[in-house]
């Protein structure tokens, strides 16, 4: 999984959206579509849902948008998207583009309801102006940009009604809390004293941003939007962990927090920093953490405790106001198709059966029992493949193993790609056992892409190749770095569409098998099939929770029976509805387009990959139309 872009997070946290795209189709499943009554907490806030966009907001947006009138199409794409980028200073920092846009890295995103209204008004206005351009008069490449931008903006606008439906505070990588700490500890470069001053400025603004977030949470709660009980409980534990395991301010040892220790480490790279200045910067960091970060995190914990009586025992978003339509929008957001929940659920069951059959065949090749349960055979394969211990001094061996996998993949893929990224990738060892995530490189080259890889005390060797191919090469790093290096309109380089991104990464796992990277590694191939089975199971469980009204126990039971080692992921599907459906749907779309290309007698695998990757991330509907038009000679 790649960490959702900060543009995605800004939308998800401030706008309850990810970074893809219109009214989601409601499921045709036989479920009760009546609206569940909102639960009322003893601490029910008095805030009400904001009225429709105010006259002042419209006037502000109109004043900005007037600058777009009369522009040529290329200039319109750049300048209109710049309006949205400039409202997201955290994303500009992650891209390494603040200087290019005339900004310092000293601000945090504005999460206030008023700012959200302004952004929504801008999105409506930009979409309206986009539609004034005659698509039929545009060049073929401009027409693709038109389609991608229209899909993106249209989805934003369709999602305005769900702006307060998500749960931004939790313990997964798409949470507000995870991304803020990632921004400050990894994405905010500190190479000069000015960079350090900007870092301190951001620390000082955390309490203000959290106050805005709390206002946003209270609006959600006034609508009856509360997280499931287990999500609230786990979120509190995560926030306490960020404070060193406590929520008592006097007990927090800020000198041990990553927000401080990473600052200490990065100051060592500032050339010419004299000792008095260094000490002053560190003392100020301590003060800002004590006065801004710690109180803000304690306030979030307190808020979660206050709403705990109202937290729902039900796992799915169907229970929210307009929850069925919300889930339909989320499915469109994360699959960029109009598939219904019922269709996705059925596809999941079909894919589970297919992958289980492929696993059985792989176990047969190893001479395993035909009568044993698949879970038992997977555990046997894991044991026989072995484990690496990354604790203590063993971490270097684990990192070296990941590096060898990347090098081998790069060498083996030369004939399969014409496009190849210039950006480097580094491995960041993490203390868990297996799995990982990817953080893209900065555009200015100051920070390489980073594969955060499991390097704990018991890393299963048979999973390592597939995780590497998914997160690094030829998966997320290859695709995202290529997109950012292309000479495309800015929005096409940076806006990510979940099913395209994750679909490509799952396709990358399959491609690694097709070019022979598992030929001498039967256990690694079983690991690949296990992870592909997981992606099929996700289609079933996500729709089960959010459309079929499965309880979390029902979801756990299904996963335990089908792929027991991964049942802990159920909570992820609760807080990130629909996202997990994008992997398999995206891969199947790419494979289908490849099959169509082969059937037309024109399949050159490197050229096909150019077609898929050369336009940047895009909705699957646009990708399909683009490839099919090229096959038809249009």
pLDDT higher than 80, residue 62: no
What pLDDT does 53 receive?
54
Strand-by-strand arrangement of the 449-454 sheet: 425-430, 449-454, 436-439
What pLDDT does 60 receive?
64
Q: Cα-flanking dihedrals φ and ψ of residue 439, to 5°?
A: -115, 120
pLDDT tens-digit profile of 322-372? 999 999 999 999 999 999 999 999 999 999 999 999 999 999 999 999 999
Percentage, residues of the chain above pLDDT 90: 86
What pLDDT does 634 receive?
63
What pLDDT does 55 receive?
61
What pLDDT does 489 receive?
98
pLDDT tens-digit profile of 186-207? 999 999 999 999 999 999 999 9
- Gap between the Cα atoms of 482 and 500, Å rounded: 14
Percentage, residues of the chain above pLDDT 70: 91
What pLDDT does 568 receive?
87
**Average pLDDT for residues 212-216, to the nearest whole number?**
98
**Average pLDDT for residues 613-619, to the nearest whole number?**
98
What pLDDT does 5 receive?
59
pLDDT higher than 60, residue 136: yes
pLDDT higher than 70, residue 235: yes
Look-up of token digits 């679909």: 503
pLDDT higher than 90, residue 42: no
pLDDT higher than 70, residue 263: yes
Q: How confident is the model at residue 239 (pLDDT cuts 50, 70, 90)?
A: very high
Q: What is the β-pairing status of strands 436-439 and 449-454?
A: antiparallel
Q: How confident is the model at residue 614 (pLDDT cuts 50, 70, 90)?
A: very high
pLDDT higher than 60, residue 291: yes
Q: How confident is the model at residue 58 (pLDDT cuts 50, 70, 90)?
A: low
pLDDT tens-digit profile of 507-544? 999 999 999 999 999 999 999 999 999 999 999 999 99
Tell me the two tokens of residue 564.
Answer: 């027991």
pLDDT tens-digit profile of 418-441? 999 999 999 999 999 989 999 999
What pLDDT does 30 receive?
27
Q: How confident is the model at residue 44 (pLDDT cuts 50, 70, 90)?
A: very low
**Average pLDDT for residues 226-244, to the nearest whole number?**
96
What pLDDT does 40 receive?
32
Q: Cα-flanking dihedrals φ and ψ of residue 436, to 5°?
A: 170, 180
- Gap between the Cα atoms of 196 and 535, Å rounded: 42
**354 within 8 A of 176, measured Cβ to Cβ:** no
pLDDT higher than 50, residue 16: no
Q: Cα-flanking dihedrals φ and ψ of residue 144, to 5°?
A: -65, -45
SS (H, E, C) 303-353: HHHHHHHHCECCCCHHHCCCHHHHHHHHHHHHHCCCCCHHHHHHHHHHHHH
pLDDT tens-digit profile of 556-584? 999 999 998 788 899 999 999 999 999 99
Burial of 419 (0-12, 13-18, 19+ CB in 10 A): middle
Cα within 13 Å of Cα(448), Cβ side: 13
Span between the terminal Cα atoms of the chain, in Å: 35
pLDDT tens-digit profile of 442-477? 998 889 999 999 999 999 999 999 999 999 999 999
What pLDDT does 212 receive?
98
What pLDDT does 46 receive?
33
Nearest residue to 498 (alpha-carbon basis) of 155, 131, 94 = 155
- Gap between the Cα atoms of 58 and 76, Å rounded: 20
Nearest residue to 347 (alpha-carbon basis) of 543, 499, 498 = 543
**Average pLDDT for residues 112-138, to the nearest whole number?**
97
The dihedral of CA 168, 172, 177, 180: what is its sign? negative
pLDDT tens-digit profile of 141-179? 999 999 999 999 999 999 999 999 999 999 998 899 999
Q: How confident is the model at residue 1 (pLDDT cuts 50, 70, 90)?
A: confident
| Residues 597, 603, 606, 608, Cα dihedral to 10° | -10
Distances (CA, A) of 453 to 102, 109, 428: 35, 28, 6
The pLDDT mean for the chain works out to 91
């Amino acid at each position: 999984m790649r960490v959702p872009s900060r543009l995605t997070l800004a939308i998800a946290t401030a706008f309850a959206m990810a970074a893809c795209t219109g009214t989601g189709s409601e499921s045709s499943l036989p479920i009760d579509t009546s609206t569940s009554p909102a639960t009322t907490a003893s601490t029910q806030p008095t805030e009400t849902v904001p009225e429709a966009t105010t006259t002042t907001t419209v006037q502000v947006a109109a004043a900005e948008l007037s600058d777009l009138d009369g522009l040529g199409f290329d200039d319109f794409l750049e300048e209109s998207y710049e309006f949205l980028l400039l409202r997201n200073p955290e994303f500009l920092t992650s891209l390494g583009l603040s200087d290019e846009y005339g900004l310092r890295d000293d601000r945090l995103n504005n999460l206030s309801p008023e700012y959200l209204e302004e952004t929504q008004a801008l999105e409506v206005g930009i979409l309206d102006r986009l539609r004034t351009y005659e698509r039929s008069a545009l060049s073929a490449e401009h027409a693709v940009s038109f389609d991608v931008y229209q899909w993106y903006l249209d989805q934003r606008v369709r999602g305005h009604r769900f702006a307060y439906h998500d749960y931004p505070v939790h313990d997964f990588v798409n949470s507000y809390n995870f991304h803020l700490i990632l921004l400050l500890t990894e994405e905010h470069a500190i190479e000069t004293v000015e960079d350090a001053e900007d870092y301190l400025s951001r620390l000082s603004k955390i309490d203000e941003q959290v106050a805005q977030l709390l206002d946003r949470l209270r609006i959600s709660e006034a609508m009856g939007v509360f997280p499931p009980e287990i999500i609230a409980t786990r979120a509190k534990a995560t926030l306490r962990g960020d404070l060193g395991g406590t929520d008592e301010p006097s007990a927090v040892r800020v000198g041990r927090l990553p927000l401080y220790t990473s600052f200490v480490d990065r100051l060592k790279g500032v050339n010419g920093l004299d000792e008095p200045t260094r000490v002053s910067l560190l003392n100020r960091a301590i003060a800002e953490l004590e006065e801004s970060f710690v109180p803000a995190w304690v306030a979030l914990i307190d808020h979660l405790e206050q709403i705990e009586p109202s937290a729902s025992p039900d796992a799915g978003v169907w229970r929210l106001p307009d929850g069925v339509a919300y889930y339909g929008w989320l499915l469109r957001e994360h699959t960029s198709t109009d598939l219904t929940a019922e269709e996705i659920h059925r596809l999941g069951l079909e894919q589970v059966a297919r992958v289980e059959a492929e696993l059985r065949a792989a176990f047969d090749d190893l001479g395993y029992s035909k009568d044993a349960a698949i879970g038992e055979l997977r555990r046997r394969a894991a044991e026989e493949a072995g484990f690496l211990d990354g604790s203590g001094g063993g971490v270097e061996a684990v990192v070296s193993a990941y590096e060898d996998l990347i090098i081998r993949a790069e060498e083996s893929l030369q004939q399969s790609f014409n496009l190849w990224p210039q950006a480097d990738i580094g491995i960041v060892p993490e203390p868990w056992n297996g799995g990982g995530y990817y953080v893209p490189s900065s555009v200015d080259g100051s920070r390489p892409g980073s594969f955060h890889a499991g390097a704990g005390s018991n890393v299963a060797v048979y999973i390592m190749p597939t995780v590497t191919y998914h997160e690094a090469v030829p998966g997320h790093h290859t695709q995202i770095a290529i997109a950012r290096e292309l000479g495309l309109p800015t929005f096409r380089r940076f806006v990510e569409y979940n099913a395209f991104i994750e679909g490509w990464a799952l396709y990358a796992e399959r491609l690694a098998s097709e070019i022979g990277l598992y030929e001498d590694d039967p256990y690694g191939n079983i690991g690949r099939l296990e992870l592909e089975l997981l992606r099929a199971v996700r289609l079933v469980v996500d729709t089960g929770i959010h459309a079929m009204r499965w309880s979390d126990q029902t979801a756990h039971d299904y996963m335990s029976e089908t792929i027991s080692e991964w049942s802990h992921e159920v909570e992820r599907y609760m807080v990130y509805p629909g996202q997990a459906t994008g992997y398999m749907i995206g891969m199947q779309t790419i494979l289908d387009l490849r099959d169509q290309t082969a059937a037309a007698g024109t399949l050159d695998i490197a050229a096909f990959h150019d077609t898929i990757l050369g336009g940047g991330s895009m909705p699957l509907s646009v990708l399909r139309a683009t490839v099919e038009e090229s096959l038809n000679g249009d």
